Amino acid sequence: MNQSKSRSGKFINDMLIYGMGTLGSKLITFLLVPLYTFFVPVAEYGYYDLCLSAILVALSVVCLQMNDGGFRFLVDSTDNTLRTKVISTIYKAVISNSALVLGVALLVSMFTKIACLWLIVAMLVVMAFYEIAISTYRGLGYTKYYALAGIITSSALMVLSLVLVVWLKLGIEGIFLSNIFARIISVVCIEVKLKVMSRYFRQSVTDLEIGRQILIYSLPLMINGLCWWVISSSNKFFIEHYIGLAENGQYAVVLKFATILQIISAIFYQAWQENALQQYHSPDRNRFFSSIFNSYIYAMSALVVVFCFGLRLCYPWIVNCDYQQSVVYLYPLAFSSMIYAISTFFELGYQCSRCTARSMPSIMLAGVVNVVGNFVLISHFGTFGIVACSIVSFGVLLVYRAIDTRKYFKIHISARSWVAFLLVIASGVLFYCTPNRVFEACYLVVVIAAALIFMPQALHDKLMARLARRA
């Protein structure tokens, strides 16, 4: 019992650390969304969002997902020699890939003109080094500095956006420059303190075996990342092509808000990833994993309902009138984010066992379902068809992984979790049927009260004990 409390306590403590860093930083980032809607035209913001989507998919290729591979190998390493080999290997790979990106961009610029091409390339390269750097901090055990990097980045992004977008009125060029310099400032600040590069990076160090092992682990994750992009971000290109940039701007804004749920789930994922790797070989693994899973389902279900109804009440005050019709897509996108978040819990079965290649069939199947569904549904249902297809794709991913990972751990889903999940679906119907804002506000209060009253006792006790210690 004491061991279980200790494990749960560590997990909650890790979540609080990641949460303080991630939520603090992302709060600033999302405050920029309404700011951008007031100072950047809809079509222009739609173009920036397409560029960002392209950067994110290219990021997996440039990094070869070695940010995740490096983290996994650094977690298991206590020897400085091994750490030097791992860090030197991943940094040298990113340097080589970045040089290749610059060469390709130069070649492309000779034959065609792409708006903001060099800003896109600069942001891609800087983001690649940033992702490698913060994953290295986390793998070395500098969890607080990992969180601090996010806070510094978003704070710098806020200041730079106010200067470049609001004051100098540079439009999307200002958004690009703000993102580039914010990440450079963050990494420089952390490096000055930790000196990770000077301690561990050696240009002369080459270990082909370490590189091979990291690639075996990382490449399946890269393919997963590409397929995840197909499911979550290629939708924007379908909307732009079939409906237009203005509609994509609407979709991009509401998607930013729905992504808040993915950020919260990412906090859980980061904390759970570390703890799951450490507890995978414990004798009561299935019971412990099931306890965490059921608490997660409960929390995510309550969060989706409260978030969607609460945000819709505030939407007229935080989003420019040109973007306000996008609120109709909020609830299904939030539900889609929840389904994906649950599927990531089962993904850790592949990582714990180091069988990351087994994760590829599920995400590839979901990607195929998404692309085919987009072609079929967008012509009949427009953007709602895209959103529905996203839910179906993530549903396929969840079911496949829940079944396939039973060879690694077995999850018992409690009746309380099923009730919470059904509440999310029922609330989705009410989201489109509520007669007025007074009813919405009352329903929101009822859901919050019910979530607090019927909170699982184990989760309640752990949270109260942790908060009491910090008080």
- pLDDT digits 0-9 by tens, 46-86: 788 888 888 988 998 898 889 888 888 887 777 888 899 99
Longest dimension (CA), the chain: 68
Task: Say how many C-beta atoms besides its own lie within 10 A of residue 454's C-beta.
Answer: 14
Q: Can you tell me the distance from the alpha carbon of 88 to that of 82, in angstroms, rounded to the nearest whole number?
A: 10
Mean pLDDT score, 228-248: 71
Looking at residue 162, what DSSP letter applies?
I
Q: Can you tell me the distance from the alpha carbon of 75 to that of 90, in angstroms, rounded to the nearest whole number?
A: 15
Q: Can you tell me the distance from the alpha carbon of 129 to that of 38, in angstroms, rounded to the nearest whole number?
A: 31
Whole-number Cα distances in Å, 336 to 223, 259, 301, 342, 387:
21, 10, 12, 10, 8
Task: Say how many C-beta atoms besides its own lie within 10 A of residue 319's C-beta.
Answer: 21
DSSP result, 70-127: HHHHHHT---HHHHHHHHHHHHHHHHHHHHHHHHHHHHHHHH---TTHHHHHHHHHHH
Q: Can you tell me the distance from the alpha carbon of 138 to that of 257, in angstroms, rounded to the nearest whole number?
A: 27
Residue the block writes with tokens 């993904």 = 347
Which of 330, 334, 331, 404 shows the shortest CA–CA distance to 366?
Answer: 404
- For position 467, what pLDDT does the model report? 57
Q: Can you tell me the distance from the alpha carbon of 450 to that of 447, in angstroms, rounded to the nearest whole number?
A: 5
- For position 132, what pLDDT does the model report? 95
pLDDT of 318-358, one tens digit each?
Answer: 777 777 777 788 888 889 889 988 988 888 888 777 788 88
Which of 277, 416, 404 shows the shortest CA–CA distance to 352?
Answer: 277
Phi-psi category of 40—alpha, beta or left, where left has phi over 0 and alpha has psi -120 to 50? Answer: beta
Q: Can you tell me the distance from the alpha carbon of 180 to that of 168, in angstroms, rounded to the nearest whole number?
A: 17
DSSP result, 30-41: HHHHHHHHHHS-
Which of 345, 257, 332, 359 shows the shortest CA–CA distance to 299?
Answer: 345
Please say whether the beta carbons of 62 and 97 come within 8 A: yes
- For position 98, what pLDDT does the model report? 95
Residue 40's contacts (CB-CB under 8 Å, 6 or more residues apart) are: 48, 165, 171, 172, 175
pLDDT of 437-463, one tens digit each?
Answer: 777 777 778 777 777 666 666 666 666
Q: Is the predicted pLDDT of residue 151 greater than 70, yes or no?
A: yes
Q: Can you tell me the distance from the alpha carbon of 345 to that of 273, in angstroms, rounded to the nearest whole number?
A: 9
pLDDT of 368-420, one tens digit each?
Answer: 888 888 788 877 777 788 888 888 989 999 999 999 988 888 888 888 888 88
Pick from 171-185, 213-227, 239-253, 286-300: least confident? 239-253
Residue 19's contacts (CB-CB under 8 Å, 6 or more residues apart) are: 267
- For position 100, what pLDDT does the model report? 95
